[in-house]
Amino acid sequence: MSVQHKATSIKNKPKSVEELTRENEQLREKNESLSGQVTDLQLALCDVYEMIEATVYGAE
């Protein structure tokens, strides 16, 4: 009978279901926030485009 060494550490320890659930919820909240920011940015870019379009082509 021999001693077997497993190369595991706390760093490599698999996460528990509770930890994964908590992390998943945090990521979902962050995703919602970032999605809202992207939408706001898209609307702002549309506004800028419309202002430039009116300035350039509005004189015709």
* Residue-by-residue DSSP string for 14-30: PPPHHHHHHHHHHHHHH
Q: Which residue has the higher pLDDT, 58 or 5?
A: 58
49 part of a folded domain? yes
Residue 23 near residue 15 (C-beta atoms within 8 A): yes
Task: For residue range 36-46, list pLDDT tens digits in order.
Answer: 999 999 999 99
Q: Which residue has the higher pLDDT, 45 or 1?
A: 45
10 part of a folded domain? no
Give me the number of domains the chain comprises. 1
- Tell me the whole-structure pTM to 2 decimals: 0.61
Q: What are phi and psi of 55, to 5 degrees?
A: -70, -45
| pLDDT-derived band at 15, boundaries 50, 70, 90 | confident
Q: Which residues 6+ apart lie within 8 Å of 15 measured at CB?
A: 23
Domain limits for position 58: 16-60
Q: What are phi and psi of 37, to 5 degrees?
A: -65, -40
31 part of a folded domain? yes
